[in-house]
């Protein structure tokens, strides 16, 4: 009888003790290493281009990031383009998909807004439209774009009553230029080679 009892009780005690110890450890870890906020949203947001253009259908990049975390498709951001989609796919461990054309196309060159200052009537409409406060000016005074802060989101062009805002390609200064990676040559796999020959033929 006693034997039987101890045979059962020893493993029980050991297992129970272990369960307690690990439970305590886990509990401690949960408190000690608690992560503030939703880290995934932060991570997704960090990958989005922060153009804040709203082309994705959300009023800014962060709302879109939140939506993505809640299951929205990852291919709705034209400014970020394919590279952003790939990065998101990598982060969220899903298949990368092509950009959803419904939201616009990826632009080749970076653009910034430019206000033809002589024509500006100082209506402040563009200031209200700019999501990143990149336009300075006061009512009835000429406005101008801080091109360093402008994300090229296009939102200020439409509201201007005198149509004096245009998007100009962002110039690369000589200091910022760098050579391209050498073209992939001999070591290409077959399909790439065909593409390459097509490209060189064009």
Partner 1 sequence: MSSEQQQLRRESALERRAAREAQLIASDQKRQKARALRPNDFPGGVYPPENKHQSTGEPIGSIPLAEQLVVPLLQHTGSTAIPLVKLGETVLKGQKIAEADGLISCSLHAPTSGKVVAIEPAAVPHPSGLPADCITIDADGEDRWCELQPCEDFRRFTPVELLEKIRDCGISGMGGAGFPTAVKLDPHGGVEIDTLIINGTECEPYITADDMLMRERAEEIIAGVEIISYILDEPERVLIGIEDNKPEAIAAMRAAAEGTRFDIVVFPTKYPSGGEKQLIQILTGREVPNKGLPANVGIVCQNVGTARAVYRAVRFGEPLISRVTTVVGKALERQRNIEVPIGTPIKHILKAHGAHRGLMQKVIIGGPMMGYTIDDTSAPVIKTTNCLLVPTVEELPPAPPAQACIRCGFCAEACPASLLPQQLYWYARADDHEKLQAYNLFDCIECGCCSYVCPSSIPLVQYYRAAKGDIRTAEQEKEKADRARERFEFRKLRMERAEKEKQAKREARRKAAELARRQREESGGAEAEAAQKEADLVAAALARVKAKQASPEQQLARAQRSLTSAEGRVERLQQKLEAAEEKQRDQLAAQLKAAELKLQEARQKLAEAERQAETAAEAGRESTPGQDDPQARAQSAIEKAKAAAAARAAMSPAEKLAGEIDALKARVEKARARLEKACSAGDANVEAFEKALQNLQQKLEAKLREQKQAGEEKQ
Partner 2 sequence: MSLMRATSPHARAGDSTAKVMLQVAAATLPGVLALVIYFGIGVLINIALCSITALACEAAIVKLRQRPVAFYLKDCSAFVTALLLGIALPPYCPWWLPVIGASTAIVLAKHLYGGMGYNPFNPAMVGYVVLLISFPVDMTRWVGPAEIINGAPGIDEALSLVFGFGGYNVDGFTRATPLDIVRLNESVLLSQLYATEPVLDQGTVAGLGWEAANFGFLIGGLFLLFRRVITWHAPVAMLGTLTLMSLLFYDSGSSLSEGSPMLHLFSGATMLGAFFIITDPVSGATSNKGRLTFGAGVGLLVYIIRAWGSYPDAVAFAVLLMNFAAPTIDNYTLPRTYGHKSARRATDLEER
Q: How far is the CB of 117 from ligand SF4 (least distance, A)?
A: 14
Which residues, in sequence order, are CB contacts of 199 under 8 Å at separation 6+? Answer: none
Q: Are 80 and 182 in contact (CB under 8 A)?
A: no
Chosen from partner 1, ligand SF4, partner 2, none, partner binding at 102 (C-beta under 5 to 8 Å by type): partner 1
Contact of 61 with 50, CB cutoff 8 Å: yes
Instruction: Please tell me whether residue 135 adopts helix, strand or coil conformation.
Output: strand
> 197: which residues sit within 8 A by CB, 6+ positions away?
none
Task: Name the residue nearer to ligand SF4 (CB basis): 116 or 194.
Answer: 116
User: Which stretch in 24-32, 72-80, 164-172, 179-187 sits in contact with partner 2 by CB under 8 A?
Assistant: 179-187
Q: Which does 137 bind (CB under 5 to 8 A by kind): ligand SF4, partner 2, partner 1, none?
A: none
Q: Which of residues 4-43 bind ligand SF4 (CB under 6 A)?
A: none
The vertex-7 CA angle with 4 and 8, nearest 5°, equals 90
What is the spatial distance between Cα 2 and Cα 56, in angstroms, rounded to a whole number? Answer: 72
* Pair 49, 153: CB distance under 8 Å: no
Where do the DSSP E strands lie in 71-143? 111-115, 135-136
**Residue among 45 and 191 whose Cβ is closer to ligand SF4:** 45
- Residue 121 engages partner 1 in binding (rule: CB under 8 A): yes
Which 144-163 residues touch ligand SF4, going by CB under 6 A?
A: 145, 150-156
Decide: is 186 part of the binding site for partner 2 (CB under 8 A): yes
CB of 54 to ligand SF4, least distance (A): 5
Contacted entry of ligand SF4, partner 2, partner 1, none for residue 79, CB cut-off 5 to 8 Å set by kind: ligand SF4
- Per partner kind, with CB cut-offs from 5 to 8 A, the member of ligand SF4, partner 1, partner 2, none near residue 117 is none
Number of Cα atoms under 13 Å in the Cβ half of residue 140: 0
Under rule CB under 6 A, residue 60 binds ligand SF4: yes
The answer to whether residues 78 and 49 touch, using CB atoms and an 8 Å cutoff, is no
Binding residues for [4Fe-4S] cluster, as ranges, are 53, 56, 61, 77, 120, 123, 126, 130, 150, 153, 156, 160
């Amino acid at each position: 009888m006693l034997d039987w009892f101890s045979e059962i009780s020893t493993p029980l005690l050991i297992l129970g003790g272990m369960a307690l110890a690990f439970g305590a450890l886990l509990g401690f870890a949960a408190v000690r290493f608690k992560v503030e906020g939703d880290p995934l949203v932060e991570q997704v947001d960090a990958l989005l281009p922060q153009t804040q253009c709203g082309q994705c259908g959300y009023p800014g990049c962060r709302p879109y990031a939140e939506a993505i975390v809640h299951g929205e498709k990852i291919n709705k951001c034209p400014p970020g383009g394919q590279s952003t989609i790939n990065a998101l796919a990598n982060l969220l461990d899903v298949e990368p998909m092509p950009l959803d054309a419904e939201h616009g196309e990826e632009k080749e060159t970076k653009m910034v807004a430019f206000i033809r200052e002589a024509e500006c009537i100082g209506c402040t409409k563009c200031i209200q439209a700019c999501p990143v406060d990149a336009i300075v000016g006061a009512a009835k005074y000429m406005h101008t774009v801080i091109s360093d802060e402008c994300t090229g989101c296009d939102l200020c062009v439409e509201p201007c009553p005198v149509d004096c805002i245009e998007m100009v390609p962002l110039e690369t200064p000589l200091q910022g230029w760098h050579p391209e990676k050498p073209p992939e040559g001999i070591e290409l796999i077959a399909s790439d080679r065909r593409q390459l020959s097509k490209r060189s033929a064009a």
